[in-house]
């Protein structure tokens, strides 16, 4: 059995050149780092049995990146996706390292070997053997760029399955759609993604309900939309377009399984869903947000949100019960970085944010024009002057990079403040609906009691 995946690597040709010239000083993003790591195994081959399980197709493995750069320059295709990176992962103890690498090479040759420069590296350092494929986005043969369409995705899966059968290996008979790579990495690291939040609330609903209607009511009171018709039950939060089948979260979650496991914690009655609010909220922030009113005091709104998420105060054991809030904890690093940026730059309102963004944009436009002026001077300068001008240009580039980062923060803060308003409105409406339903059910119970006493 082999699982396959392929994704593009975004970057600039300059990033590739910088890495080739000085890999120790290159600080790429996470995606680029994964890509560069494959090439580093040629020089640092601890994971590949001293380089025995690293092979190149249509290039030399020792100079693969340099050859890819030359191909891009030859066809003047230095923009867009910089390369493609994929893997083929096998079931533990099903293949030998030699078989794994041999299958990976055959797959790479059949898929991309007629036009692209490829590195195939087999990793032996995990419980499961797996191949990494890294190949140029530009063809060395005719300069065409690779397009990973749905038909290519299907061809990759079918080719891998056919090779597995040829070697007598198992094949995934009913493949399911894999989550996106960022979502997969977040789930792997234990962050509260949509799917594990669903699973947590489902477990509570099943164990705390004695029958299906109460289970549905529990999930509805939490803010979910549920569809328990047919053979595949489904649920979703209101901000998502599509329902998620319960048996895709866990293949055991069939209607029969759920019915047989109801009420394990509800011997004397059904558990009620609840939406709780932080008890640690300071008075100064309690009125920072009002239902269905756009908030302009964004720093206070962020602090309000951080308290409701349980981020503030530090050391608290409070955890949000709303699934909307639980999932927001996945963005914890972004939220805290944005709060820090507003605090450091004295930004309290949307007006402050707009003024900060306008100032940074004006400064960046001036520096961009000045850098263009320096580039023109470098072209006409003597060799001795060029070095000084290049140093000055590098300093200007660093300032522009910092300003771009600030502009990105400003855009992110404005979008998130609107998102926070929307989330809080949904949570407020859910809590109001829950109270209304509970009051209605209590009224029905009282009327039944009165009728029974007559």
- Structural contact between residues 220 and 226, judged by C-beta atoms closer than 8 angstroms: yes
Specify the pTM.
0.64
pLDDT at position 177 is 65
Phi, psi for residue 78 in degrees, rounded to 5: -105, 0
Query: What's the pLDDT tens digit per position in 270-289?
Result: 898 888 889 999 999 999 99
pLDDT in tens, 8-55: 888 777 777 776 666 665 556 666 776 777 777 655 555 555 557 889
pLDDT at residue 35, as a whole number: 74
Task: Say yes or no to pLDDT of 148 above 80.
Answer: yes
Give the span between the Cα atoms of 286 and 301, in whole angstroms: 10
- Residue 418 tokens read as 């609107």
Per-residue pLDDT, 112:
96
Window from 175-184, 290-299, 352-361 with minimum mean pLDDT = 175-184
First to last CA, the chain: 69
Mean pLDDT of 356-360: 96
Starting from the edge strand earliest in sequence, which strands make up the sheet with 234-236, in order?
225-227, 234-236, 244-245
Neighbour-count burial of 90, counting CB atoms closer than 10 A to its CB (0-12 exposed, 13-18 middle, 19+ buried): buried
Q: Which of 236, 270, 8 is nearest to 135 (CA)?
A: 8
* pLDDT at res. 294: 87
The pair of structure tokens assigned to 272 is: 């009620």
Dihedral of CA atoms 106, 107, 108, 110 in degrees, nearest 10, equals 80
- pLDDT digit string (tens) for 113-147? 999 999 998 887 667 888 989 999 999 999 999 99
Instruction: Give me the pLDDT at residue 400, please.
Output: 94
Residue with more model confidence, 7 or 190: 7
What pLDDT was estimated at residue 49?
57
| The 118-123 sheet, strands edge to edge | 2-10, 81-90, 130-136, 118-123, 54-57
369-386 burial, b at 16+ Cβ within 10 Å, e below that, comes to eebeebeeebeeeeeeee
């Amino acid at each position: 059995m082999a699982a396959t995946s392929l994704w593009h690597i975004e970057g600039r040709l300059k990033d590739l050149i910088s890495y080739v010239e000085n890999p120790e000083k290159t600080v790429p993003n996470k995606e680029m780092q994964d890509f560069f790591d494959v090439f580093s195994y040629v020089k640092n081959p601890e994971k590949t049995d001293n380089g025995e399980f690293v092979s190149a197709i249509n290039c030399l493995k020792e100079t693969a990146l340099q050859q890819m750069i030359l191909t891009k320059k030859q066809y003047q295709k230095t923009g867009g996706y910089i390369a493609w990176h994929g893997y083929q992962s096998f079931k533990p103890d099903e293949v030998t390292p030699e078989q794994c690498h041999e299958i990976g090479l055959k797959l790479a040759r059949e898929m991309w070997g007629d036009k692209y420069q490829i590195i195939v590296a087999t990793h032996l350092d995990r419980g499961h053997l797996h191949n990494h494929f890294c190949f140029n986005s530009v063809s060395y043969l005719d300069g065409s760029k690779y397009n990973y369409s749905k038909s290519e995705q299907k061809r990759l899966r079918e080719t891998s399955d056919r090779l597995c059968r040829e070697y007598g290996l198992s094949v995934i008979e009913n493949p399911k759609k894999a989550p996106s790579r960022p979502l997969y990495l977040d789930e792997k690291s234990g962050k509260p993604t949509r799917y594990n939040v669903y699973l947590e609330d489902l477990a509570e609903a099943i164990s705390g309900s004695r029958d299906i209607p109460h289970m549905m009511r529990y999930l509805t009171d939490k803010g979910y939309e549920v569809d328990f018709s047919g053979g595949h039950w489904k649920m979703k939060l209101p901000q998502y377009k599509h329902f998620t089948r319960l048996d895709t979260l866990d293949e055991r979650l069939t209607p029969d399984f759920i019915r047989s496991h109801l009420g394990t914690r509800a011997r004397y009655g059904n558990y009620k869903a609840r939406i709780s609010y932080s008890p640690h909220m300071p008075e100064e922030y309690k009125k920072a947000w009002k239902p269905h009113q756009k908030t302009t005091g964004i720093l206070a709104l962020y602090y309000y949100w951080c308290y409701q998420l349980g981020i503030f105060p530090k050391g608290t054991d409070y955890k949000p019960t709303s699934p909307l809030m639980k999932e927001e904890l996945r963005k914890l690093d972004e939220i805290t970085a944005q709060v820090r940026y507003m605090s450091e730059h004295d930004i309290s309102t949307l007006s402050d944010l707009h003024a900060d963004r306008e100032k940074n944009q004006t400064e960046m436009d001036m520096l961009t024009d000045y850098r263009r002026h320096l580039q023109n001077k470098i072209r006409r300068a003597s060799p001795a002057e060029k070095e000084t001008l290049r140093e000055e240009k590098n300093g200007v580039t660093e300032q522009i990079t910092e300003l771009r980062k600030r502009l990105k923060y400003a855009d992110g803060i404005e979008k998130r403040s609107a998102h926070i308003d929307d989330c809080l409105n949904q949570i407020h409406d859910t809590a109001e609906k829950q109270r209304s339903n509970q009051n209605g059910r209590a009224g029905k119970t009282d009327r039944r009691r009165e009728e029974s006493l007559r």
